[in-house]
Structure 1
Amino acid sequence: MKQQLLKYKGYHGTVEFSLEDDVLYGKVIDVNSLISYEGKDLTELRSDFEGAVDDYLAMCEAHHESPEKAYTGSFNVRLEPEMHKRLALYARSHNESLNTSVKQAVAQLLAE
């Protein structure tokens, strides 16, 4: 099952629940800082999520800091050595960089 995310001002947040506490909760996943929120129902959860994002942005502005960027466009991928070798040979045989081959594979995966 695909996980549903809250969205607000370019930020995304998880939707989780605690049967023990009878509460919905989540955290913003677009930053390294811990920004959490909760609510008794989805309306309250969404409102608290949006308030948490607004508070984070206001705090950044008050401290003259830029909001964190969680996605820089660069990340490490770990592969088995044989897969790494096959990918490198594929890229070379198609006259492209390893990075280009990986970008094309990811684009195809996300298009599905």
Structure 2
Amino acid sequence: MARVLIVDDDEDIRELLSLALRIAGHDVLTASDGPAALDVLDAEPVDLMVLDVSMPQMSGLEVARRVRASPRSPEPLILMLSAMADPGDIAAGLASGADSYATKPFSIPVLTQAVDELLQGRSA
């Protein structure tokens, strides 16, 4: 079981992902924006973040950059989640520090598989 932080300003998406990842056996934390996500990371160890790109106050790209610049140990994996699907958007997400990038709309089985694959890659 991994600890997963879901960061999205859309409450419905947070709840949907939280339920799906809990059913998949993960311990789930949530945050509604970038500053709240950074507060959670300062207080709790997290194995993986599912991080929305477009959020008020601080974009997911900025959150990822701050996470990667911080000396957190262990450093969480980051799965960027966005409706922006252009190759340049994906490249920007990965350049900000994301380990993987998924697009909205998404399928729950595909997203939970992506989470599991990232986590398995870390433990391999």
TM over 0.5: same fold?
no
Bigger radius of gyration, 1 or 2? 1
User: Which structure is higher in RCO with an 8 Å CA cutoff and minimum separation 6?
Assistant: 2
Given the two structures, how large is their TM-score scaled by the length of structure 2? 0.26
Given the two structures, how large is their TM-score scaled by the length of structure 1? 0.28
Structure having the higher strand fraction is 2
